Structure 1
């Protein structure tokens, strides 16, 4: 067990002894289910992929490819996925605190941590076309920016289980640190294959990544971001479906599936990803429709404002960032302070925004309707779980 001077002699005695670290299966060239899939699993994966494709098309068609709200809608879907992925790691934050953290107005440590996960997801989608070791390390560096070990493969043993002092009795003892580089080379070679269904490919790659546990911290969130990078890079999605929300609804089944994978059975993790994908497509579609309806209602409220006013440019941005300040609008839209203030006044007078601080300086405006829809979605996920 680690000798850090903090454990008692009795604790050191209890934590001393032999243990077995995982040696990951070699994937490149001989992945599970290649070249054929059991017919029932193939149908399950195909149905889930079709559901994701339909969700993606609906999200684009609901607004129109040229609508200025499409980018903010994609941003809020990504943020929703990031929040769910973080919640799997017991990092829970409401929509308001997360939106405040995005503009550096939150004191919540959890919110700042989830924003780091948002940055990780953004990096994953940017790097989706070149998933090499440099890209994976870059994802981890975004997630744990400023922390020791960020963006570097671990050099120590890690495990998941009963004790933080010793791997004895752990649920999973990851490979020894010296085995990690070779395991990652094998995984990255596996990512380059093109003979597997995309969702199955992502599910197995994710399970292998979690088995390797290449970092001392942040493996789960980085691994789920990697899965999304594969869904984007291999052409299944252009937006972000809240797959982690689906995993969160059956969290024990997800963790059990990872355990089964380490024991040699890949089927449960593929089934869990297929189930989570169907959940993401169904509930994500309803969220897109609700946000689109909110935007249409806001446009009606703003009808009396002249069409060239800045308020109209701000309106779609509120889907992706439902809490704003004058300074934020100045930076994002490159406008003078007075112009930003005028837009906020018009949106407030129209009933779209509410000033949330009651102060005369350092004021913050929020869109209560969008925040409520996001919190309702999070509550739905919790109820399903």
Structure 2
């Protein structure tokens, strides 16, 4: 291993911090690890000869950051927008009066679950892992679905675990989130740091021609320990702190796979730890989806020593995400209101008590209704029959033994949210 050296990069600007810019070191390339099935041209083989250069991330635990005041002001405005959105949604109630008492079952949970699921789906989509709302709803109840839907469902679980454990921001909690995300995918070493070199760049079969080569595996654990100390700081503006921590995580790239999704889960852990969000997951990844080129470009700028673009990218993504989230909330409110007016069953009935649950999980089985409402099998069947007769549920499978019913209006609202997310504002 040679001593780190400066890597030629963008021309210096007032925003570039030399102490934050990556340095690089050379490593010998072990050709025995190459995949013999890969076919490369003579030019590509020549380019893959000899040592390669891997990044050396700076220690940031105690680094003094100087970020453009205008970028910080925009980040503070975005942070206030997140707090407002959290307050707005926390005041939402999906409840009804029954015999003079308010039925609180699932009163807020639907919106929290919907937003967490949309954030997980958007985070996966940044990595080109896409799944429609119906496929994801089916995967969430372990019904037959494609591999992408199963991966997104795993991302939902990983996000849930990470946010629930936000009081314990540690290497162990990050490893646990990764284990949930990549469960069953042994190539990714679920819950363990990588033990080999990785690189980024489509078509690059070796690190020599990659667009970015993260640190050598020997540097991963020390770099992650430094990052955790940085995450504990309280002297930085919250959104800038979050954006920089995310950029550093993506630069370290500690896992063999699943880095982007795990790194975006870290964003929500930090927002909750800072008290910015109390009950919701703001779909920041959905905001990033509208400009993925800008997002990846901001990560590149951070590695060159300029943290301003990643802070700005997170600020813009926040405003976009909250706008989209408010539209989704309005759609969900309208769906619930329409259901309450359409449903012919009496107050307090099993069918009526299922409505908030259908917002949260729009694919259900008879067994789920039994468990959610603590009712008998005949009562669950009657509830589903009523919901079908009133046009709220439709059958999604012909399997009489394990039939699934879908709330199509919710599926449509979630798909429309996803479609809005990929449009540039």
TM-score (norm 2): 0.86
The structure 2 residue matched to 1:275, chosen from 312, 316, 323, is 316
Q: Deviations over 1:240-264 (max 9, x none)?
A: 1110011010000000000111111
1:163-211, CA deviations, whole angstroms, 9 ceiling, x for partnerless residues? 4421012111000100111100100000110111211111000000000
Looking at CA atoms only, which structure, 1 or 2, has the larger radius of gyration? 2
**Structure 2 residue corresponding to 1:82, chosen from 105, 114, 120:** 120
**Alignment partner for residue 326 of structure 1, among 366, 372, 389?**
366
Q: Which residue of 2 aligns with 1:222?
A: 262
Give the conservation status (yes or no) of the 8 Å contact 2:247–2:310: yes
How big is the alpha-carbon RMSD for the aligned residues of Structure 1 and Structure 2? 1.8
Moved more, 191-200 or 243-252: 191-200
161 and 359 in structure 1: CA distance in 2 versus 1, 3 angstrom threshold: closer
Superposed, 1:199-214 pairs within 5 Å as 199-214=239-254
Which moved further from structure 2: 51-60 or 12-21? Answer: 12-21
Output one character per residue of 1:21-59: Cα deviation in whole Å (capped at 9) or x when no partner.
1111111111423xxx53212210111001111111111
Greater CA drift, 319-328 or 155-164: 155-164
Deviations along 1:307-332, one digit per CA (max 9) or x if unpaired, are: 23211221101111111111222233
Structure 2: gaps (5+ residues): 1-30, 96-103
Q: How does 1:357-372 map to 2 (within 5 A)?
A: 357-358=397-398, 360-372=400-412
Matched, 1:294 2:335: yes
| Contact kept? 2:366, 2:384, Cα under 8 Å | yes
Report if the CA contact (8 A) 1:16-1:166 is conserved: no
Quick one: distance in 2 between partners of 1:333 and 1:146?
32
What CA distance in whole angstroms lies between the structure 1 residues aligned with 2:193 and 2:233? Answer: 23
Which residue matches 1:144?
Answer: 182
Q: CA deviation at 1:361?
A: 3.8
Pick one of 20, 44, 49 that aligns with 2:74. 44
- 1:248 paired with 2:289, answer yes
SS class of match (2:61):
coil
* Segment drifting more, 14-23 vs 224-233: 14-23
Q: Deviations over 1:53-75 (max 9, x none)?
A: 11111112233795723112100
CA drift of 1:105 comes to 1.4
Q: If each structure's helix is expressed as a fraction of its own residues, which one has the higher value?
A: 1
Cα distance in 1 for partners of 2:214, 2:317 equals 25
Is 1:312 the equivalent of 2:345?
no
State the number of aligned residues. 381
